[in-house]
Structures are given as C-alpha cells and as structure tokens.
Structure 1
Amino acid sequence: MTITGRQLRKDTFMATEIMVSGLINIETTLAIDGFPLNYFPVTYAFDRINTTVSGVGYNVAKALHTLGHPVEMVSMIGNDVNAPIVETELKQLGISHHGVCRTLAQTPASVILYAPDGQRQIHVDLKQIQETEFDRQLFDEKLRRCQLAVMCNINYNRALLAEVKASGKPIATDVHVLADPDDDYNRDFMAAADILFLSDEGLHGREPEAFIGELYQRYHNQIIVMGRGREGALMFVAEDSQFYHTPAITTRPIINTVGAGDALFSAFVHGWLSLGNPYQALQQAVRFASWKIGEKGAAEGFLNAKQLDELSQTTR
C-alpha cells in the first residue's frame, strides 16, 4: 500500500530515507545588468561569475539532506575532469556517491544568466544522459533502501518508474514548465507521481485551477502543486477535493531565482513527511524557497529544519 505523509509522524520522519534520481551538472552563473542582453565582444564581470555543482537531482538531494533526511543519490556523470569535483562535493555533504555512476563521456553542464529583476535564462547541455540507461541492479539496491522516491523527469528515469510503482513506495516528481497536460515527454512521469509539481510559466494565459484540474482528471495524483513565482503556489489535494493557495513571501533580498522551484519541491516533500499536513508543508516550502533565492546558485541557500521552523514562526 502506498504510504502518505499523514501516515508518518513527526517523531519518526528522520528515519525516512529518500532516493533522489536525477540530473547532476556543473553550473556556471553570470549576473548581468538586464535583458535583453546587447552584443559586446568582451566584458570583465568581476564577482559575477560563479561555478558550482548543481542540477535538479543534486539540488533536491542537497536540500533534503540539509533538512535532515538520509538521502540516496542516483545519477550519471562523465568520466572526465568534473567527476572528482562532483564526488568530492557529495562526500563533503555526507551523501554517498555510490549511486552516481561515471557512465557518460562528459558531465552535463549549464550556463545561467540572471538579472536584478529576477529574470533568468538557463542554457543546459545534457551531454549523452538522455540516451543512456541507468544500471538496473544498482537502482534496485537504492530503491530497496528508501521509503520515498524522488524521480526527476530525466529520460533514464522513464524506464524505472514501473519498478518504483510496483514497490508501493510513493513517487514525487517535478515536471517544471508544462504547457500541455498531455505533454509527450512528461506524460509517464505525471502518470506515476503521487506528488506532482510544476511551474505556471508554460500556461500562457490559461487558468491555473483549470489546468491543474485537467492534470488531476488524467493522472489522479494525490497532490498537485503549481509554483507561481511572485503569486506564490497553488495546490490541489485529492483527499480533500480542494484547492489551496499560499501567497509569496519575501524573507530577504532576491539575488537569483534559479532553483526556486527545486527548493519549493524539496521543502514540500520534507514538510509532507515531517508534518503529515500538505497545507502546512506548502506554507513552509514557500518560506524555504523565498530564503533560498537570496543566493547566487541553484544549489545554495538551503536552510536546515531548525532554521526553517524558526523562519516559519517569525514570518506568519
């Protein structure tokens, strides 16, 4: 039987081990003055360029680990100069890199431009990861150890969704920018998800509640959450057959909004497990994401559970 957050008590959530299967990449961010970016042959961007380990899977794993959960990381990186950097970062965090395989020729990479008004432009090079299968035996080993699986919408996870469903363990996924409830690439992930996250950036004027309603009619997810940036977040809880909106909140000055969705998603999963209440979980998640975007990189600015509780108490 699939477990739900309401069946897990706050005093036992630290034993909830989470498998995160998703992208790890090397991320370079560049702070610019604004969009559109005019052409110039060279500029000296002192203190504006930052390179870190990132990627959706890494961001979520790091956030959940920081919030106090044992995390099993599953991913693929390159057998290149960047591999030791990734492995060292995971080791320093206290996350095993046993499930992070040097399967690819090169580690995926991204370049992100961001402006003071919060606009950002993300360029991602996935290298060979979309055409490469993950080691089934290793995946099964990691799956057995966890109670919840975060299955990011990277292509190698598609073939692994059925195994997770068969195990009865809940699946959480974020399909990010979605324009069509029948989206070909994301359909498998949406159909498998117990907790489904997405952004409103692909709606193009469509009504958020109606769009979520279409998703629920097709996929019957337990919980659907739409991140809405400055508008906060909108959630549908199937058990209660109701929508719930949490407004955005500002907890410190915004530096870069990249990774805000990963932070919202991670903190919600944490709250769902620790509080057993999706409404309180979303309130906490909005605060967690608000604090996170006061940093430059997508994998920076994560609060621990105590800090998040304190922030939630002081920003009611």
Structure 2
Amino acid sequence: MSQIFVAGLINIETTVAIDGFPLEYFPVRYPFNGLHSAVSGVGWNIARALTALGNRVDFASLVGTDENGAMARRTVARAGVDDALVLCTLEKTAQSVILYDPDGRRQIHVDLKDIQEREYPLGLAEAALGACDLAVICNINFVRPLLQAVRATGKPIATDVHALADLEDAYNQEFLAAATILFLSDERLPGTPEVVIKELLQRYPAEIIVIGLGNKGALLGVRKNGFIGRYPAVHTRAVVNTIGAGDALFAAFIDRYLRTGDPYGALEAAQVFASYKIGEKGAAEGFLSGTELDSWIAKGKGAA
C-alpha cells in the first residue's frame, strides 16, 4: 500500500449514448437508459482508481459552492477518501458531457467554469505532500503552484499531458519539466510514437514515459536501460465507453510501479485494469480492486 497525493479536476459528468458519429441533427432524441450522470474528472478518476487498488490517497481539488460541489465532496467521502482538501472556492463546479457510440468512440465537452483562473492554496497541501510516496499532479492550471513544492521535497511526480501536438507546447512545459513518470496519448502527436518518445526522453527528465495507443496498446520508454517497446492491447470484456481509459491506465501503472519498481510488469497490469474499466459508461466507474486485478492477470486474460 502506497501513500499517494493526487491534485486535479473533479467535475459532474453526463454521458450520452448515440447511434454513431457524425451525429445527425434531430430535434428530439429518446436514448432510453442512455444518459448517465456521475462525479468524474481526471483528478478524481485517478484518485478513485488508486483507492480501489488499495492505496491511501490524499485528493486535492476545487469545486463550487453549488449543489454540484456538495455532491462531488459527498462522493469523495463515500469512496473512502478524505474530502478535506476538496475546497469549495468556486462559484460553480466544472461539468462535462460525453457522447459515445456503440464502438466506444467518444467526444468530450468540458466546461471548466473559472477554475483555470484559480490557484490551489499551497499551505493546505504541504502536510499531504510531505507524507506521500509520489505526487500525481494533473495538467490543469490551478495545481501549478504545487509542482515546485513537490520538487522541493524530492518526491517523484507523475503527470499525464494527454494530447500533445507540440513537444514545446507552452501550456505543458512546467509539467513536462517536472515529471518523473510521464503519460500521454498518441492522439495529435507530431510524429510516430517511437520518434516522439525518443525526443521526449532527450528533452525532458522523465525516467519513464508511456504513450497510450488506444486499441493498439501502449508504448513504454524506460530511461535507465534505453528500452522502448510496444505492448499490445488486451481484452477482458466488451467495450461500452472508452472515456477514462487513459486515467485508468495511468493510475494502475502508478499503483503497480510503486509496489514493485518494475515498469514492464506495471504496464502489463495496467493494460488489464484499463481494459476492464471501459466496460462501464462513466469515467470513474469499473475499477477492479487489487485482488480482482491479480485474479484477471492470473487467469491469463488480456490476450490481444
């Protein structure tokens, strides 16, 4: 069991099942049992997954003084995570709407309200940062002040910059420069995944980099031995919605890597975890426990 600090977004998410992309215009649709609302957001998805896997998690985020903010905090507490670092400092809580089709493809619409203009108060997070084994700092503006604070402690930082179209992207520079473990998606890459991962290892200090390749698996880069290699996708159950797959992969990798120090086995386990997760509608749902994940791995699930 590890002590992990997570700072990132929590929001109210509504998923909407559609027949396919592109979505044709029609004035009214009746997708019976096709709308689902829950508490989600990248930061919470990761914190929730890490908790399900058996870790102790301190979760820091900002929500509104509205009923959505109260619902978000209740959800955090009910999941067994202390909500003391989820601060009601915004007027309104962020929201998202995700359209998804029968093949699991999705389109995400996120309304961050004014959260990008806020900063998380560093003093409130210092004790949790000092106690953690690793800090997950998501790439959202309000957590930027925490990056230097974590670096000052010498604790490792894990971050996911998601879609990266430019390796010199100004928005993500601080996160790229601080990460010990770096995740990103192959969507919008400025080159092939193998070329991009080599360039990232040359330009930035990350010891481990993972590029998610969707249904093609993942690409792992490990600095200490110059390893770069692909891991094929795995299959555990039918895909419902791919939203949150990257967050699940990221969280499960961190969990296994902190337990074992083995990045190769950690990615193999994370692939199984993420494959199972996308059998649910919501981004913060479908997480296996550590014991359940071990069982799936032992059964040999995850053949490509």
Q: Same fold (TM over 0.5)?
A: yes
Q: Does 1:64 align with 2:57?
A: no
The one-letter code of the counterpart of 2:251 is: S
Deviations 1:52-106 (A, max 9, x none): 0000000000000000000000000001011221111111111011000001000
1:141 deviation in Å? 2.3
Distance 2:114 2:141 in 1: 11
* 1:21 paired residue among 1, 4, 7: 7
The answer on 1:243 being equivalent to 2:228 is: yes
Which whole-Å deviations, capped at 9, do the CAs of 1:203-238 have from their partners, x for residues lacking one?
26x211110111111102100000001110001000
Letter of the aligned partner of 2:59 in structure 1?
M
Alignment size in residue pairs: 301
Question: Given that residues 160 and 182 in structure 2 are in contact (C-alpha distance below 8 angstroms), is that contact kept between their aligned partners in structure 1?
Answer: yes
> Among 221, 226, 238, which residue is 1:253 paired with?
238
1:227 to 191, 197, 212: 212
Retained in 1: the 8 A contact 2:159–2:183?
yes
Alignment of 1:130 with 2:116, yes or no, is: yes
- Which residue does 1:150 correspond to in 2? 136
How many Å separate the matches in 2 of 1:283 and 1:154? 28
1:209 aligns with 2:194: yes
Partner of 1:9: none
| Structure 1 counterpart of 2:171 | 185
Using the TM superposition, give the Cα deviation of residue 168 of structure 1 relative to its aligned residue in structure 2, in angstroms: 0.4
- How far apart, CA to CA, are the structure 1 residues paired with 2:126 and 2:37? 33
The CA deviation string for residues 280-302 of structure 1, in whole angstroms up to 9 with x for no partner, is: 00000000000000000000000
* Maintained 8 Å contact 2:14/2:96: yes
Native 8 Å contact 2:119 2:144 kept in 1: no
Q: State whether residues 62 and 88 of structure 2, in contact with CA within 8 Å, keep that contact through their aligned partners in structure 1.
A: yes
**How far apart are 1:313 and its partner, in Å?**
1.4
Q: Does the alignment pair 1:100 with 2:55?
A: no
Q: 1:271 aligns with which of 225, 246, 256?
A: 256
Match of 2:145 among 148, 159, 171: 159
Distance 1:299 1:165 in 2: 28
Give the TM-score normalised by the residue count of structure 1.
0.94
Distance in 1 of aligned mates of 2:80 and 2:124: 19
Hey, what does 1:5 align to over in structure 2?
none
1:293 & 1:279 partners in 2: Cα distance? 22
Aligned to 2:278: 293
Instruction: Give the letter for the 2:170 counterpart.
Output: D
CA distance in 2, matches of 1:187, 1:279: 27
Q: Distance in 2 between matches of 1:183 and 1:313?
A: 41
- Extract structure 1 runs of 4+ deviating beyond 4 A: none
* Counterpart position of 2:62: 76
Q: Could you tell me how far apart the structure 2 residues matched to 1:150 and 1:70 are?
A: 13
Conserved 8 A contact 2:15-2:100: yes
SS at match of 2:187: helix
Question: Do the aligned partners of 1:33 and 1:115 also contact (CA within 8 Å) in 2?
Answer: yes
Q: What is the distance in 2 between the residues matched to 1:74 and 1:40?
A: 41
* Distance (whole Å) between structure 1 residues aligned to residue 148 and residue 249 of structure 2: 26
Q: Which amino acid aligns with 1:162?
A: Q
Q: Is the 8 Å Cα contact of residues 9 and 41 (structure 2) preserved in structure 1?
A: yes
Counterpart CA distance in 1 for 2:232 and 2:260 is 20
Amino acid paired to 1:255: V
Question: Which has the higher relative contact order, 1 or 2, with Cα contacts under 8 A spaced 6 or more apart?
Answer: 1
TM-score by length of 2: 0.97
Q: 1:26 is paired with a residue of what secondary structure?
A: strand
Q: Distance in 2 between matches of 1:145 and 1:296?
A: 34
